[in-house]
Amino acid sequence: MYSKLLESCVLCGHRCKVNRLKGQLGRCRAGLKPMVASFCLHHGEEPMISGKRGSGTIFFCHCCLKCVYCQNYDISQLACGREVEIEELARMMLNLQDQGAHNINLVSPTHYAPQILEALTLARRQGLKIPAVYNTGAFDSLELLEVLAGKIEIYMPDLKYFDNEKALKYSGAGNYVEIAREGIAEMHRQAGNSGILVRHLVLPNNLADSEKALDYLASLSKEIWVSIMAQYNPQYRAKEFPELSRRLRSDEYQRVVEYAQEIGLHNCYVQDLLSSESFLPDFSREDPFSSSQ
């Protein structure tokens, strides 16, 4: 149904224009079939997402970003998972609904979005009624977001940086700020304040330019939901970068939280610094978060 989006792939800000239908690989290295690392109920998301019964998370392998500190690097960069057919992906969604999930939480979906939409359409025909959460690094193209309009109920983008040099150095995306700004604005236009939750991970040494990021979100709406995250933990290649090789200090995090209050952002989730340990997943287990719930 959405094969044209894969003929000359511009799903993300890299705009590789490879023909995924013919097996060509772009920057994300994703093939044609969706690769899934895990699907399970997850109780560690923000309260509006996890609720009481958990969020039905489906973790996809590969990623259009190359974050050197990624806590999910074994699936985002090392692709530890398996390819699935559209029909199986739809069954996963229905299975999670049967388990009581409040929603279907699509984690790192950008590079598989056309296939995910096909699976969602199929699952809805077969009785899926819970909303879909689009859990993205905010490097989605406007062309893709226009296709998602009306098909995704909740957007949950990360706003990782507000400086392109840092985005290039730490995530391999030198145009990240423009893509994320345009994309989050479009998500907000589609879903309104009640249908979007923007996550911002505070990095050591203000490497995420947190105040500028929050200023941008406040310019969209003072009522937008924001999750100010304290769970930074130097994973993957972070030790290669001295400025990223330590955990966040409490004063660094508190300064960002106070700034959000100063500029009038009313709907903010905050975290305890201990979350840097409790939210580390292990994708060798059937439930990657079973030891932290």
Query: Residue 123's domain is classified under what CATH number?
Result: 3.20.20.70
What's residue 275's pLDDT?
A: 66
pLDDT band of residue 2 (cuts 50, 70, 90) is: low
Residue 2 inside a domain? The answer is: no
Query: Does residue 292 have a pLDDT over 70?
Result: no
Kindly state the helix (H) or strand (E) to which residue 172 belongs, with its residue range.
none
Residue 4 inside a domain? The answer is: no
Residue 228 inside a domain? The answer is: yes
Task: Centre a 10 Å sphere on the Cβ of residue 122 and count the other Cβ atoms it contains.
Answer: 18
If one counts the domains in the chain, the total is 1
Query: Does residue 287 have a pLDDT over 90?
Result: no
Domain that holds residue 253: 34-278
pTM > 0.85: yes or no: yes
Residue 109 inside a domain? The answer is: yes
DSSP 170: H
Residue 49 inside a domain? The answer is: yes
Residue 292 inside a domain? The answer is: no
Share of the chain above pLDDT 90, in %: 90
What's residue 293's pLDDT?
A: 42
Query: Does residue 107 have a pLDDT over 50?
Result: yes
Q: Could you tell me if 107 and 135 are in contact, meaning their C-beta atoms sit under 8 angstroms apart?
A: yes
Average model confidence (pLDDT) for the chain?
Answer: 94
Average pLDDT over residues 263-274: 92
Residue 248 inside a domain? The answer is: yes
CB-based contacts of 120, cutoff 8 Å, min separation 6: 90, 93, 104, 128, 132, 151
